[in-house]
Structure formats: structure tokens, C-alpha cells
Structure 1
Amino acid sequence: MDLATLIGIVGAFGIVTTAIFLGGSFGQFIDVPSVLIVVGGGLAATLIRFQLSDIAAAFVTGFKVALAGKNANPRDLITEISNLGEIVRKSGPLGLENVDVSDPVLAKGVQYIADGYELEFIRESMERERDLQLSRLSEGKRVFKALGDSAPAFGMIGTLVGLVQMLANMDDPAAIGPSMAVALLTTLYGALISNILCLPLVDKLDAKFDVDDLNQTLIIDGVCQIRESKSPALIKEMLIAYLPDKLRAELADAA
């Protein structure tokens, strides 16, 4: 589990909840009509933009990414790929049959090599899987961005609804309070949903997109070079190009 995500969500809601308790009753901040306007309206607007299956897939992808652990380190991947190249150089492709591989994408590529598939098939198959994975992440970003945009918008709609109700009942003091609560709480709910859940998940998915794009492209190039029986030193030298300058120097020193 990604500890930063957990700390961020718990911390954000904890700070808001603590501020509410210090200032008064928590029950004052619970309003069913406001929840219906913001949550129901936001989901309805998102359903208009996307298919139901896309929204369901986006929620699964989003929460998987939010709760996932650390991503693979490109430096470690390069070292592992170089070691696999050494195995192939000494024992041939069949030497990869019982090798433990840390990354599932790399493991699939290694299995392709061990099974004797042609280079063109390996590259096309792995690039297709990478592109589909990136497409899922991109679609997830779009869905959560839509939710993040809709929640504050429906919060503002709820504010207008509450103000209209309040102004229409100025002669009834008992109706002013509930109407004003709807007006203010919908804005609060919209801001919380957007800024604590939806928009941070958009950034999380965006970061995951960049990491997966880099790592999987690196793996594809490495697997193809192993399939071409290139030397481990050459494989490492070619893959180092994926690293920033600082990590390149560290990997070169380690070698």
C-alpha cells in the first residue's frame, strides 16, 4: 500500500473533522439534500460523459493505483535485465526457464524468450500490452477529472438552490436555517470531494502513467536486446539512456 496516499487522505479528513469538532457539533455539517446534489449530481454528470463500464473500470484502476506499493526502480530493472542477458549468453534462452523475475511485465518477456518466440512477435505483443495499460490509466484520469470538475460545480448549484429556497421563505424564519445549510454545505462537500479524492487521484494516475510508460518501454527494449543475444555490457549501456544523469553516473560507478 502507498503510505503517502493513506496518510494524505486520513490527514486531510482528520484535519477537517477536528476543526468541525472544535467549533461545534459534527451533526451540523451533515445534510442529506446537499449530499444528494453533490454526489448524485456529480455522478450523473459523469455518466453523461462516459459509459458505465468505463466509470467502473476507472474506479478499479484509480483505487488500485492509489493503494499500490512502490513502483519498480528503472535502475534495478536495468541491472536485472543485464543479469538475464548474462544467463542467456552462458546457457541460451532455455536458461531462463526457471529464473525468478521481480517485475510481471519483464517476467512475461522472459517467458517469451524462453519459449523461442520471434523478436517481432515479442516486441509487438509487449508494446500492445503497454499501450492498453496506458490507455486504461488515461481513461481513469479522464473519469476522475470529470468527477473533480463536477463536484464543485454541483456544489455551486446547491448553493444557488439553497439561496433561492431561503429568499422564497424570508417570511418563515424556521425555513431560513435549513435553506442556508444547503447553500453552504453543498459548496463544502463539492470542495472536499474534488480536492481530497478526485483531483489527487488524477495526479496519482498521471504519475503512474509516466512511470509505467518509462519502465515498460525500458523492459521491452531490454527483452528485445536479450532476444538478439547482445552482450550484457551493451544491453546495460543502451538502457542507461532511460535514466537521468545522476542515476546514470551511479549505475556506471556500481558497474
Structure 2
Amino acid sequence: MDIATIIGIIIGLAALIGGFLWEGGEVGGLMQLTAALIVFGGTFAAVMISFPVRRLKTIPRALKLAFTSANANTGQLIEDIVDMASTARREGVLSLEQKIAEHPDAYLREGIQLVVDGTDREMVKQIMEYDMDAAQYKYDGYAKIFESAGGYAPTMGIIGTVMGLIHVLGSLTEPTALGPSIALAFTATLYGVASANLIFLPIASKIKARGEDDITRMEMILEGVLSIQNGDHPILVRRKMDSFVTDMDAGLPSAASSSPSSSSASFMENDL
């Protein structure tokens, strides 16, 4: 579980509700089922209209990315790549076939298998970059769903407020009820703006960040596979791998390899 996502949402809600109470408001004033139905129901409907069903089915996987921590052990992955580089220099790349068979990283398995099979260096690079492009496409697709929800929610909030004001203007014969009715109408706007900026858009950003980390990891593996194929010394391979660790720690994509335009991945699920 990614504790940062959970804590962030809790702190955000606590800050909004706490500020409201500090000014003398009551929690009951924020609990309006009608406004929630208009905002969240309308947002969900708009997202359903915007994306095909096959894309909507990826929402649980997208949420899992946002609310769970990455499982990749970068340090161990570097040690494995350096060890393979050492083995390949001593015994040849064919000796890696058995070593790679049970490795948990599918992308590394695929790359080393291509090398073992005698695939040309440029072809290895091209195939693995295609996989990288497919991964980027997957993460972008996940994030776009929540970005769309973040765009629709404030608009639905405004619609809910306008509907509430229409009802208020139709009840001008009861002046004493105007204040509470107007407050109720604006609750919909609050729901829309708060959900967009506290839930939907931050989740989209978290998914993008996860994607950047994964793409950097894939770039590191690609560089390691090409170094093994080239017969580079293990010390040189380690230095190359360490440069990627700095990029991942900083949360920045690495510039070590270019990104092609094609999109396919044999090692991934066909999510999109």
C-alpha cells in the first residue's frame, strides 16, 4: 500500500472540513446526497461516454497503481544484471539461458533471451523499445481516464449549483429559506472542485509518476542487456546502471535511450 496517497487524501479532506468547521460551519451542512448524486453520478456518466468499455475495464488496475507501492527492487535488479554481465564474459551469452529462465522481471527475461538467441543488436534494441512504448501508452491511458474525471467534476458541480439556484428562484415566496437553499446549491460546486483537485487529478499524476519510474527501469534494463551483448566489463555495466538509479531517485525520466513511435508489447497484458 502506498501510504503517501492515503495520507494525502486524508490530510486534504481534514483540511477542507476542518477549515469549514473553524469558521463555524456544521458537518451536516456538507453532507448533501442530492449534490453528491449530481456531481459523482454525472462525472461517472461523462467518463463512460468518453471511453470505450475496454478502457473502462482498466480502472481497477489504474487504482492499484495509485494506491500500492512499486514492487521493483532496483538494487537487486542491478546486481542481477552485473552478475549476468560477468557470467557472459567468462562463459559466453549462451550460459545465461538457464540463469534468466526463472528471473522475476519479464522485460529482462525477454531482452536476455533475444541476446541468447543471437538476435542482432539493433533488432534487440528496437524490439525492447517497442515494449517500452507500449508501457508508456498503457500508463498514459490509465491517467487520461482520471484526468477526464477531473475535468468533468467541476462542471458537474456548476450544473448542480445552477439546478439548485433554479429551485431557489422558484421559491421566492419563502424568504427565510433563501439562505439555506443557496448554501445547499453551492455544495455541488464544492463537491466538484474538491473531488477534481483532491482525488481525480492527483491520482492521474501519481499514475504518471509510476509510469515514469517504470519506463526509467526499462531503459536501465535495455542498457544492461545491450552492454551484456556487447561484452562490456561488469564494472562499466554497474556504472551505467548506477546512473539510472540517480534518475529514478530524482523522479526524472532518463535520457539514455530514445523513444520510438511504435506500440506493442509481448510481455504485457493487452490492456488498451
**TM-score normalised by L of structure 2:** 0.75
1:127 to 110, 117, 129: 129
Give the C-alpha shift of residue 136 in structure 1.
1.1
Which one-letter code corresponds to 2:86 in the other structure?
A: E
- Alpha-carbon distance in 1 for matches of 2:237, 2:16: 52
Which one-letter code corresponds to 2:149 in the other structure?
A: L
Q: 1:191 aligned to 2:197?
A: no
Query: What is the aligned partner in structure 2 of residue 2 from structure 1?
Result: 2
Measured against aligned partners, the alpha-carbon deviations of 1:142-186 in whole angstroms (never above 9, x if no partner) come to: 221111111111111211111121112111358646742441210
- Matched residue count: 244
CA gap 1:163/1:117 in 2 versus in 1, 3 angstroms? farther
**TM-score normalised by L of structure 1:** 0.79
- Alpha-carbon distance in 2 for matches of 1:18, 1:168: 33
Query: What is the aligned partner in structure 2 of residue 55 from structure 1?
Result: 56
- Alpha-carbon distance in 2 for matches of 1:107, 1:179: 63
| Structure 2 counterpart SS, 1:145 | helix
Measured against aligned partners, the alpha-carbon deviations of 1:222-252 in whole angstroms (never above 9, x if no partner) come to: 112213333323433455554659x9xxxxx
Higher helix share: 1
Q: Do the aligned residues in 2 keep the contact of 1:141 with 1:202 (CA within 8 Å)?
A: yes
| Structure 2 counterpart SS, 1:34 | helix
Query: What is the aligned partner in structure 2 of residue 12 from structure 1?
Result: 12
Query: What is the aligned partner in structure 2 of residue 139 from structure 1?
Result: 141
User: Which aligned pairs between 1:12-31 and structure 2 lie closer than 5 A?
Assistant: 12-17=12-17, 23=24, 25-31=26-32
Which one-letter code corresponds to 2:13 in the other structure?
A: F
Give the C-alpha shift of residue 215 in structure 1.
1.6
Unaligned runs of 5+ in 1: 248-255
Give the C-alpha shift of residue 82 in structure 1.
2.0
Unaligned runs of 5+ in 2: 250-272
Q: Do the aligned residues in 1 keep the contact of 2:87 with 2:95 (CA within 8 Å)?
A: no
Query: What is the aligned partner in structure 2 of residue 252 from structure 1?
Result: none
Measured against aligned partners, the alpha-carbon deviations of 1:206-230 in whole angstroms (never above 9, x if no partner) come to: 2123222222122112112213333
Indicate the larger mover: 34-43 or 96-105.
96-105
Give the C-alpha shift of residue 86 in structure 1.
0.6
CA gap 1:38/1:31 in 2 versus in 1, 3 angstroms? same
- Alpha-carbon distance in 2 for matches of 1:3, 1:111: 37
Q: Do the aligned residues in 2 keep the contact of 1:61 with 1:137 (CA within 8 Å)?
A: no
CA gap 1:14/1:233 in 2 versus in 1, 3 angstroms? same
Amino-acid identity (%): 30
